[in-house]
Structure 1
Amino acid sequence: MSGPLVRLLNKSSIHRPHSVFHRRMSSIAQSAEDDLAPKTAKIGRVFSGIQPTGAVHLGNYFGAIDNWVKLQEEVGQKDKLYFSAVDLHTMTALKEYQLEEAGSGIKKRTIKDDSIELTANLLACGIDPKKCVLFRQSQVPQHSELYWILGCLASTAILDGMHQFRDKSAGGNFKSQGLYTYPTLMAADILLYGTTHVPVGEDQRQHIRLARRLALNFNRYYMTDLMVVPWSMETSLARVMSLSDPTSKMSKSAPSPESRIELRDTKEMLRKKVRRAVTDSTMGVTLDRETRPGVYNLVRLLAHTTGRSDEEVAAELKDAGHAVLKSAVGDALEIKLAPIREKVEYYMANTKIVEEILNEGAREAEKEAHKRLEKIKSRIGLN
């Protein structure tokens, strides 16, 4: 072995606790932790992705998609937005995508099917392919190639500390290498496009810190500035909780479909789920997350849906019963989701339009990905 990385690791000072090497590594770790973008950091390129793992629900909408739509109007004309159906990440749940039921001959949904449905939802919500690059991750092979390069810079000690691996592998379930290393693929997704900003919620900032650490490590090892060190982007991302367990996030993987409101739910299904949402036995409406999580969740849903503050909604309904609150939430959601639902059904009936949009986005994404990866490989010495 040879090269900058080995020369750095072979320095005798590596074994001394106060060596230059350790000070540099400590500096990298600290820089990686300081991930929140300062006000002065200019937006250049934004990357964000959603796993196509099933029906799109309100958590996805208020937690990411609505923010993507707003970003299309807020960023400058010279800025670039990359929005992706990150279908390679979905393979960590590959057992859900067997091609057919054993012995039945009945074909099941594929990852591509879910990618098409996710994209139909994105388009229906207002994502405009003329204002962003919208594509499927697996159609741009450079993601996987950069993933391997970065994996050679990611220590197992860092990956051991990623909270989502611990959470998803709890309970003695099968633990795949993909689940363990998918944060490295997420870093590759971000770094491949020279991303400057990534809109994330608080629970995802750990992944941005990993991407920053790997970018800094690469630049240090190979004595370059090729890797743009991304910032976490402070946004108004909303955390939507489950209707049946308001202490947990709304999730596609929750066993009960009544725990979530899907964008394709009919008017009747939507209202039924809201009526059955968990609340409590206390009269009136207050904004108390700790002692009244169910009521708090419904108040926040109503606030997000109508564009008002949580406090305004709680004050307006302070003397109302739970039935009144749930009726108001159902009415507001139906007004919000009815036109989206109609557009989703249009795109699902015309999937060739959706596929062509994804193909065009992949072509544009790959041009940038190829150009940037070739520079990275050249610096490493792979070309």
Structure 2
Amino acid sequence: MTRLSGITPSGHAHAGNYLGAIRRWAREGAPGDLYFVSDLHAMTTPYHPQRLRAHTRELLAVLIASGIEPDQMFVQSDLIREVGALTWLLECTCAYGEAARMTQFKEKAGKDGKVTARLGLLTYPVLMAADILLQGADEVPVGDDQEQHVELARALARRFNGTFGEVFVVPRAVTPQAGARIRDLAHPDRKMDKSAGDVAGVIFLMDAPDLVRRKVKRAVTDSLDRLEYRPDDQPGLANLLEIVAACTGKSPREVADSFDSYGTLKDAAAEALIEELRPIRDTARTLLDDPSELDRVRADGAVRARERGTHRLQSALRLAGVG
């Protein structure tokens, strides 16, 4: 069975990415699982080419540093010819209404922004379907916001298979085991975001220890002075408790019982994050300082990913009358 997961380099990887997903991939992944850096997905909104390239390399290094096997990962754009060709076949299988009703497109484009929204924002779910179908993924772990996109991939796979001939595995969305839900330290009403404009509350994996301490020290809490785990009433405090819990293996309520002040909790959260992220940051930095090794891993991953998908693409092209 093949399970496929991707992460988009829309900015620097942060603690929420690691504690919520990447660490779980490394610890719980099965031999058939695949992980990819979805750099093409980062192009659906305005972006800077140099930063996209740098963030892609950094994220690949972070995946390796986190313990994911190099032979299980690849970078999406290294298969741009294969993914691009399959995306076109699937776009010619997809109805406009199916793409336009995707919730993320409606939310991001907005009622007044559809004229200026990039076409890639509309067709991005079809590109995602191509990622999934090219690799023959049986399962795609996704959150609620992406489940609709997997349903589109299922519909397109069935339609293509029914119209032209059996080529694609029909994937299914699965709900991954819940990881840590790390929120922005300065704005605990929202999750950490790689592309946030205000990064004061975002702990990036490559942040130096002193910077981590400063950000955590300034974390928003409240004036209630009640050290309890109450996410609805005290979201900032709950976020700090969840950070320590994720790093120590305890429950947030157990962590709350271990401290007697917000200040000592912040100190503990900062040190827990620093120690949890230190080996990831150090190993990723070593990889980034050795471009030849990172390039080798990336090139090998591209070859394997291309070999896994080439026969499906060739069959699909031939059955569709263009191969």
2:13 matched to 1:56? yes
SS at match of 2:183: coil
**Helix, strand or coil for the counterpart of 2:221?**
coil
Paired with 2:290 and 2:200, the residues of 1 have a C-alpha distance of 28
Q: Are 1:370 and 2:310 an aligned pair?
A: yes
How much does 1:203 deviate? 2.5
Q: Which residue of 2 aligns with 1:85?
A: 37
Cα offset, 1:81, TM superposition: 2.3
The alignment status of 1:97 with 2:48, answered yes or no, reads: yes
Give the superposition deviation at 1:164. Answer: 1.9
Q: Is 1:45 aligned with 2:15?
A: no
Q: Which residue in the other structure is 1:354 paired with? A: 294
Q: Could you say which residue in structure 1 is the equivalent of 2:67?
A: 126
Query: 2:74 aligns to what SS in structure 1?
Result: strand
Q: Following the alignment from structure 2 to structure 1, what is the Cα–Cα distance between the partners of residues 39 and 27? A: 24
Which amino acid in 2 is paired with 1:211? A
Q: Contact conserved, 1:208 with 1:230, CA < 8 A, in 2?
A: yes
Structure-1 separation of matches of 2:268 and 2:28: 29
Q: Indicate the residue corresponding to 2:22 in structure 1.
A: 65
Please state whether the residue corresponding to 1:84 is helix, strand or coil: strand
AA matched with 2:297: I
Kindly indicate whether residue 54 of structure 2 is the aligned counterpart of residue 113 of structure 1: yes
* Aligned pair partner of 2:74 in 129, 135, 143: 135
Q: Taking structure 1 as reference, are residues 202 and 71 closer, same or farther at Cα in structure 2, changes over 3 Å only?
A: same
Quote how far apart the aligned CAs of 1:219 are. 2.4
1:110 Cα offset (Å)? 4.4
Verify: 1:338 aligned to 2:289, yes or no: no
Report the Cα offset of residue 171 of structure 1: 8.5
Q: Secondary structure at the residue paired with 2:151?
A: helix
Which 4+ runs in 1 deviate beyond 6 A?
Answer: none
Task: Confirm whether residue 200 of structure 1 aligns to residue 142 of structure 2.
Answer: yes
CA contact (8 A) 1:116 1:351 kept: no
Q: Deviations over 1:347-382 (max 9, x none)?
A: 111122111100111011111111111122222232
Contact residue 168 and residue 312 of structure 2 kept, 8 A: no
- CA deviations on 1:21-62 (whole Å, 9 max, x unpaired) are xxxxxxxxxxxxxxxxxxxxxxx0111111122211012112
Contact 1:116-1:355 within 8 A present in 2 as well: no
Maintained 8 Å contact 2:82/2:313: yes
Letter of the structure 1 residue corresponding to residue 18 of structure 2? Y
Listed as ranges, the matches of 1:292-311 within 5 Å are 292-311=234-253
Paired amino acid for 1:87: D
Report the RMSD for the aligned CA atoms in angstroms: 1.9
2:70 counterpart SS class: coil
Rounded Cα–Cα distance in structure 1 between residues aligned with 2:281 and 2:240: 21
| Change beyond 3 A, Cα 1:171–1:301 | farther
Task: Measure how far apart 1:249 and its partner are.
Answer: 1.5
| CA deviation vs aligned residue, 1:274-297 (integer Å, no higher than 9, x gap) | 111111111122222222111121
Residue among 113, 117, 120 paired with 1:178? 120
* Structure of larger gyration radius: 1
Gapped runs of 5+ residues in structure 1?
Answer: 1-43, 99-108
Matched ranges for 1:230-249 at <5 A: 230-236=171-177, 237-249=179-191
Q: Output the TM-score relative to the length of structure 1.
A: 0.78
Verify: 1:191 aligned to 2:133, yes or no.
yes
Residue number in structure 2 paired with 1:284? 226
Amino acid at match of 1:274: V
With over 3 angstroms needed to count, the CA separation of the structure-2 counterparts of 1:89 and 1:338, relative to structure 1, is same
Taking the aligned partners of 2:249 and 2:14, their CA distance within structure 1 comes to: 18
Identity among equivalent pairs (%): 36
The CA deviation at 1:333 is: 0.8
